[in-house]
Structures are given as C-alpha cells and as structure tokens.
Amino acid sequence: MKRTILTKIIDSLRYAAEWFSETPERALEQAYNAALQIKAIEDEYFGGKKIVADSADYTDSEMSYFRAELQKNLNITKGRLAEFRASNSVIGISNYNQTPAKAEIVDASVNNGNVYSPESRDKSAIILEKLKFIDRVISKYTTIESQKSQPEKSLALVAIAKNQSSDSEKLSSPISNEQLYLSTPNSDSKADTISDKTGVLPRSIFKTINRLQRELDPQSEEEVVKKFRKSKAKTAISLRFLLILIIAPLLTYQLSKLFVVGPLVDNFRTENELDIFINRDLEEEALSELTRFKERLEFENLIFEAPKFSPEQIEEQLKEKAKEIAKESRHQSADAIKNIFSDLLSLVAFAVVIFMSRREIAVLKSFIDELVYGLSDSAKAFIIILFTDVFVGFHSPHGWEVLLENVSRHLGLPENRDFIFLFIATFPVILDTVFKYWIFRYLNRISPSAVATYRNMNE
C-alpha cells in the first residue's frame, strides 16, 4: 500500500516536472499564435499595414472591433512572452542539475566538438525565428497606450505623428530586451527615421492625390454604389431595430396583462372581497367622491321648494354610489398589480432583445453617430439646449412632478411628496452635471465649433 502511494507521488512529481519543462515552449507557441492573428488581420483587412483608421476605410464600430481584437492579442502576446522569459530562465538554471546519463551524453557531444546537437540547434533556430516574428509584429504597437489617450483625428493645428515614443516608453517596453537580443544590421524590420515620421510634404497633399486617384479609378462608381448600399442597409437595420425595441416591450406588456397576469390577479382578487383599496390615497379619493355625491344630493333638495329626494331615497342612492365607487376602486387596485408584473415581463423582453441583438446595437450606434455628428453646429446646439431645458431647466421640476405622480399611480404606490421633492432636488442636478461633462469631455474634442455655437445661443 505504501509502495503504491509512493509510486503515485513519484508519477505526479514526474508529470509536474514534465509540464513545467514544457512551459517555455507552450508560452512561446501561444504568443506566436496571437502574433499570427494580428498579422492575419493586417493582411486581410488593412493591406498589410498597421491596424489604424488611416490604413483603411472603416466605420467607427468596425474600427472599435479591430482595436479590441488587436488589444486582446497584444495582451496575450506580452503575457506569454513574460511567461516564456521567466520559465526559460528557471529551466536554464535547472539544466545544470542533470542525471548522470544525460551528463555523459553532453560530455560526449562536447568531446566531439559539438556543444549542441543538430536537434537542439534546429529548435533554437525555430525559437529565434518565432521571437523575431513576434517582435516584428508587435513592435508597431509598443506605444498603443499613448495612442489611445489621444483622438484619432486630432484637432491640433500642427499634425502630431502617432508613432513617436519617448525614451522612457522605449525603455519600459516589454519587448525591448528581445529586440536588443535579436536585432541585427540586416534585420527585416525597418527603423523609422525622423524624415519618415514627419515627411517631406504635408499629408494633405498625399490625401488629395489619393482622392483624385480614387475618383479617376474606373471602379470608383462601383465603390460609390457599394457605399450607398451599405449605408442603406445600415439605415434599414437601425430603423427596424428601433421599432423592435419599442414594439416588443409594449406588445409583451399588453399580451401578458390580458392573457397571463390579468386572469391570475382577477382570480386571486375574487377570493378576497374585502381587499378593495391597494393604498391609502385610493381610499381617500373614494371617500372624497362619495362625500361630494352626498353633498350634491343635499344641495338639490335645498334649492327646490319641495324636497326632491326623501331621506330613504338619499340613503339608497348613497348605497348604490358606494358600491359603484368600490367596484371602480377594486378595478384600479387590480390594474395596478397587473401593471407591476406586466412591466417586469416587458423589461425582461427588452433585456432579451438587447442581449440577442449585439450586431444590431453596433450598427445602430454607428448610425446614430453618423446622424448626430453629421448635423450642423447650430442644429447640435439647438438639440442640446432643448434637452437641457426640458430635463434640467427652470420649468423642468413641474414636468418631473407630473411624471412621478403618474408613475406612482400606474404602479399603485402612494404619492409620497417628500420623495418626489427630494428626487426633483437631486436628479436634475446630477443630469445637468452629466450633460456638462459630456460637452466638456467629448463634444469639445469632436466638434469645438458646436460648443462655441451652444455657448453663444445659451447666452
């Protein structure tokens, strides 16, 4: 029994040692595959160039997808390279502690004049080729973090090269050691000189020449038609998705209220006849209505010379009116309970539509971006002022008060005036801060002229 346990322990240790000895090769293979993914995206979608917006004509949503794939593969590559270096250094030290049989083989190879066997030399060459390929691919993106902190389309008067990096960034780069180790004078990767970064002529001239080439291209009409069809399909998908977002929750609300929630609530309410009012406000409204009805009957008796109703008739009419008010109150209470469950089901339907339509959401986002940012500066300023005045303006508290009262009545909740006033005192302020932050953080960077127009119109 002890021998069996000892054998299992030895096998486990041997398996762990073999797994750890394969860690450098496994980590390098994963980094190499991630670099291959980046290279495949460059070759297939960007003509072998760097994955940036200037290399190809893609929408913002498509570029965000490519950036996400690039960042994911870069993280995998850098992480696996760090794992390769750490594990390779440890295994390199442990290779001195070899078994006698292995030591004899090494001594024999040294005596023959060969420090490494042909297999080890081939393996080293493969490792160096993979490292060289990985460095050549990810060296273009060593300053990806600094590029993300700046907008792709700079509003500066002087064009700033995106591939410039400081000396500290170069020293802190995770692949700098590998580049120093593998760099040779005849390396395939070309170093960017200052003239390559700045350029002899302005970029606008080259963009103008490229535009003229596209216009003179015989296939330019096909590209225009293709872009028009793409824009048409995007508009159709966006409008259809907006209709689905509106119709699906409303349809779910009505159908669930009529055929699912309604019958269940009605069946439960019929068994509890005394449960008429769902809250105190509804009861006070019923009492107030009955009091007004009684006062109206007494007033009609007083304005005529002869009494129009006898006390017995007044009592009978009050009973009939009380039954009518109780029936109406019971219906309102049941309707409020139905609304709660139907609203929950409609929210579930809305969440399902959102979860199942990620592609449509990306298309809708791109469509809204093109629609909003395609407006003129005065139109943008007009829409911003309209929204801010409606939701956070001087007269907005009255609208919020009416909205909250209707929501409370819809859900059968008592109208808590303290909560309503506290909400009006805090939420519009938060919303106004969000509007101002959005204008300062995003709109001021994308369209500063629209911000200037907004300030002039607001003054």
Asked if residue 284 and residue 174 are part of one domain, the reply reads: no
- Whether 208 is covered by a domain: the verdict is no
- Whether 9 is covered by a domain: the verdict is yes
Most confident of 195-204, 297-306, 423-432: 423-432
What pLDDT shows up at residue 201?
Answer: 57
**End-of-domain residue from the set 361, 392, 425:** 361
- Whether 110 is covered by a domain: the verdict is yes
The token pair that represents 84 in the structure block: 């390769």
Most confident of 65-74, 351-360, 448-457: 351-360
- Whether 89 is covered by a domain: the verdict is yes
Helix, strand, or coil (residue 386): helix
Q: For the purposes of burial, counting CB atoms within 10 Å of the CB of 215, is it exposed (0-12), middle (13-18) or buried (19 or more)?
A: exposed
- Whether 177 is covered by a domain: the verdict is yes
Q: How many helices (H) and strands (E) does the chain have?
A: 20, 0
How many residues in total does the chain contain?
459
Taking the CA atoms of 164, 144, 440 and 446 in sequence, report the sign of the dihedral they define.
positive
**Model confidence at 347: pLDDT above 90:** yes
In 3D, which of 316, 321, 320, 313 has the Cα closest to residue 286? Answer: 321
Q: Which DSSP category does 141 fall into? A: G
Which amino acid, residue 95?
Answer: N
| Residue predicted with more confidence, 147 or 77 | 77
Q: How far apart are CA 50 and CA 135, in angstroms?
A: 14
Asked if residue 174 and residue 28 are part of one domain, the reply reads: yes
**Residues 123-165: tens digit of each pLDDT:** 778 888 888 888 888 888 875 444 444 444 433 333 334 444 4
299: confidence class by pLDDT, cuts 50, 70, 90: confident
- Whether 101 is covered by a domain: the verdict is yes
In 3D, which of 243, 225, 224 has the Cα closest to residue 360? Answer: 243
pTM of the full structure = 0.50
In 3D, which of 5, 21, 61 has the Cα closest to residue 358? Answer: 61
**End-of-domain residue from the set 361, 396, 416:** 361
Exposed e or buried b per residue across 340-377, where buried means at least 16 C-beta atoms within 10 angstroms of its C-beta: ebbbebbeebbeebeeebeebbbbbebbeeeeeeeeeb
- Whether 367 is covered by a domain: the verdict is no
Q: How far apart are CA 231 and CA 224, in angstroms?
A: 10
Q: How far apart are CA 452 and CA 153, in angstroms?
A: 19
Asked if residue 196 and residue 77 are part of one domain, the reply reads: yes
In 3D, which of 396, 395, 412 has the Cα closest to residue 333? Answer: 412
Q: Can you tell me which residue has the tokens 């064009």?
A: 159
What is the count of structural domains for the chain? 3
Asked if residue 94 and residue 9 are part of one domain, the reply reads: yes
Asked if residue 343 and residue 285 are part of one domain, the reply reads: yes
Taking the CA atoms of 18, 19, 23 and 25 in sequence, report the sign of the dihedral they define.
positive
Asked if residue 191 and residue 227 are part of one domain, the reply reads: no
Most confident of 82-96, 162-176, 349-363, 371-385: 349-363
Please say whether the beta carbons of 380 and 447 come within 8 A.
Answer: yes
Asked if residue 321 and residue 288 are part of one domain, the reply reads: yes
Q: How far apart are CA 439 and CA 384, in angstroms?
A: 9
The count of other CB atoms within 10 Å of the CB of residue 144 is 16
Q: How far apart are CA 75 and CA 23, in angstroms?
A: 18
**End-of-domain residue from the set 307, 335, 361:** 361
Asked if residue 34 and residue 162 are part of one domain, the reply reads: yes
Please say whether the beta carbons of 130 and 88 come within 8 A.
Answer: no
**Residues 260-293: tens digit of each pLDDT:** 888 888 887 765 555 677 778 888 888 888 899 8
Which amino acid, residue 243?
Answer: L
Q: Can you tell me which residue has the tokens 């209709």?
A: 243
Q: How far apart are CA 363 and CA 368, in angstroms?
A: 9
Asked if residue 88 and residue 16 are part of one domain, the reply reads: yes
Residue 405: domain span: 375-459
Q: How far apart are CA 287 and CA 377, in angstroms?
A: 56
- Whether 22 is covered by a domain: the verdict is yes
Q: How far apart are CA 16 and CA 376, in angstroms?
A: 66
**Model confidence at 76: pLDDT above 50:** yes
**Residues 429-451: tens digit of each pLDDT:** 898 899 888 888 888 877 788 88
Exposed e or buried b per residue across 167-183, where buried means at least 16 C-beta atoms within 10 angstroms of its C-beta: eeeeeebebeebbeebe
